[in-house]
Structure 1
Amino acid sequence: MESAVHVSYGWTALLGTARGGADVPAYAAPARATDLSGLPPTFLDVGSADIFRDEDVDYVRRIWAAGGTADLHVWAGGYHGFDGLVPDAPISVAARRTRIDWLRRVLAA
C-alpha cells in the first residue's frame, strides 16, 4: 500500500464515516483548525517513517507561523507507534526521555 492509502486508513480508523467531512472537530483533527494562536506550548514528535509525519510537521509549522511555541522531533527511522510497539529500543527510550525532559522544562517555567 502506498502512503496515501495508509493515511486514509488511519483517519478512517479514528473518525469512521465522518472522515473527510465538514463536521470533523478540530480536537480530532487539529490540522483543520484555522486559528492556532494562543495554544499552550506544544510538543510533537513523530517518526520519519510515520504515515502522519508530513501532517504533523505542517501542524507545527502553522503553530510557529501563528506565533506559538512548539518543539518538533522527527525520529529517524521511527514508524507510527514505534515507542509503544518496541518500548526498549534505543529510539523509544530516547523519545520518552525527550518528552519527559520537555515536560519538566515547561512545568518548571
Structure 2
Amino acid sequence: MKVIIVALALVAVVAAHPVAETEPIKILRSQFDATPEGGYAFDFETENGIKRSEQGEVREALDEENKPHPVVVVRGSYSYVDVNGNPDTITYYADETGYHPEGASIPKVPSPSRR
C-alpha cells in the first residue's frame, strides 16, 4: 500500500511541474500555387533550417484493368539539420508506382551478390 501511495505522490509531483514554453518556429518564406487541372507547387523555409519544395501534376495512368484514371505525380525535396547538427536533403518522386526517396540518410538496397 505504501508503494502505491509513494508512486501516486511521484506522479502528482511530475504532473504539477511546469512545462517550459518555447517560441514557435518562425516561417521565413511560404508560397503555394494551384492550377485548375489539379496541379500545384509549394515551398517553404523555417528559421530552424527546414526547407521543403514540391510540385504535383495530374497525369493519366492505367489501373489493374487497363482503364485510364487520373493520378497526381509528385516531385520534391526537403532538407533539415539532423540531431548531430548535419544538414540532410531528401529528394523524392511519387507516382502510380509508389514513393521513391533518395538521400544520404535513406538506406540503399544492397545489390544481389553473385557467386
Both proteins in one fold, TM over 0.5 = no
Write 1 or 2 for the structure with the bigger share of helix: 1
| Larger RCO: 1 or 2 (CA < 8 Å, sep 6+) | 1
Write 1 or 2 for the structure with the bigger share of strand: 2
TM-score (normalizing by structure 1): 0.25
TM-score (normalizing by structure 2): 0.24
